[in-house]
Amino acid sequence: MVGGVTLRGISKVFKRESSELVHALEGIDLDIAPGEFVTLIGASGCGKSTLLRIVAGLTQPDSGEVCTDGEPVNGPSPDRGFAFQDHTLFPWLNVRQNVAFGLKNQPKERLAALSGGGSMSSKDIKEQISRDVDAWIELVGLQGFEKVFPHELSGGMCQRASLARALAAHPKVMMLDEPLGALDAFTRMNIQEEILRIWQARKTTMIMVTHDVDEAVYMSDRVVVLSPRPGRIQEIIPISLSRPRARSGEDFSRLRAKILDILQFGGLRQAPDYYL
């Protein structure tokens, strides 16, 4: 199993233009097992995105170390995928080209290894990519929109396309920064199922940020609650419900209530700015 993540003493301080310091993260220790589904939850601005960026290697921590499978992270890699909070689809590529971007542009050796050994010709690889891309587009329900450019898509469609683009690149660890934020309740549930299916099929380690407590309880193995300014781990709640899960029930409600309780009353009493 691959995709374990270890965070040791991660701290990050940002300097604003006004040279005021923002303690985004402080002393984050977290071990994520290979294939685990972990959700980060916390107030807006408490450093969730920053933490994901540090794991992805897009932001350097001021102190502490991130390792994936024992290897220190010192830059981005296709092994650590990222579905960004704002979709960041490439506006000059259509949906299909966007989804194919990762597969087409990663190092050839990695691609060959992914598609089962180095025996494939470049034509085979091309066809494989093409099939993969079609499958991902269908999975996120964008068939018929392959040739459409991002500016002609709705916000939710952009998020789905961006999710497909990130997952199609075969990451071992997947960072999901509020990937379902712009979706309606129904599509949201559908995509949640799809993410869970992909997760179970691929054993990809998932680190997801959400503001939706139900979503956190429904999907994760563990919920990590962060406290704001400085961002610290306030509590880690294991969700030991058996899968497939129901979206209601006594245990579900109890866990949900517990997380809400921590978010609202634990540690911080001054005016919170939750999305909840």
Partner 1 sequence: MSILRPLKRVFPIAALLAALAVQLFFPNSELQPTTRAPYFTYFLLFLLALYAALIIVSFFSAALAKKLEYGGWFYTGAILFLTGLNIFTSKLAVPPVMYFPSLDRVFGALFDDRRLLLKCLAHSGRLLFFGYFGGSIVGLFTGVGIGFSKRLSYWLSPVIRLIGPIPSTVWIPLMLIVFPTAVSASAFIIALAVWFPVTLMTSSGIANVPQSYFDAGSTLGAGRFVRVVKIGVPASMPHIFLGLFNGACSSFITLITAELIGAKYGLGWYVNWEREMLSYSNVYAGLIVVALVFFLLVTGLFKVRDKFLGWQKGVIKW
Q: Using CB under 8 A as the criterion, which residues of the chain lie in contact with partner 1 when the complex forms?
A: 53, 56, 58, 75-78, 80-82, 84, 86, 88, 90-94, 101-102, 105-107, 110, 149-152, 165-166, 169, 171, 175
Q: Does 61 bind ligand ATP (CB under 6 A)?
A: no
DSSP3 helix / strand / coil % (the chain, rounded to 5)? 35, 25, 40
35 contact choice in ligand ATP, partner 1, Mg ion, none (CB below 5 to 8 Å, kind-dependent): none
If you search the block for the tokens 């977290």, which residue do you land on? 30
Contacts of 9 (CB under 8 A, 6+ apart): 27, 28, 29, 63, 64, 65
To the nearest whole angstrom, how small is the minimum distance from the Cβ of residue 237 to partner 1? 28
Sheet holding 80-83, edge to edge: 80-83, 173-177, 205-209, 37-42, 222-227, 232-238
90 contact choice in ligand ATP, partner 1, Mg ion, none (CB below 5 to 8 Å, kind-dependent): partner 1
To the nearest whole angstrom, how small is the minimum distance from the Cβ of residue 268 to partner 1? 30
22 contact choice in ligand ATP, Mg ion, partner 1, none (CB below 5 to 8 Å, kind-dependent): ligand ATP
Q: Which of 65, 89, 33 is nearest to 207 (CA)?
A: 33
If you search the block for the tokens 């374990």, which residue do you land on? 4
6 contact choice in Mg ion, ligand ATP, partner 1, none (CB below 5 to 8 Å, kind-dependent): none
DSSP assignments along 135-185, one per residue:
HHHHHTT-TT-TT--GGGS-HHHHHHHHHHHHHHT--SEEEEESTTTTS-H
To the nearest whole angstrom, how small is the minimum distance from the Cβ of residue 274 to ligand ATP? 9
The first and second tokens of residue 133, run together, are: 């891309």
If you search the block for the tokens 């990222």, which residue do you land on? 82
Q: Which of 14, 149, 252, 274 binds ligand ATP (CB under 6 A)?
A: 14
To the nearest whole angstrom, how small is the minimum distance from the Cβ of residue 88 to Mg ion? 13
To the nearest whole angstrom, how small is the minimum distance from the Cβ of residue 48 to Mg ion? 5
| Residue ranges in contact with ligand ATP by CB under 6 A | 14, 16, 22, 24, 44-50, 85
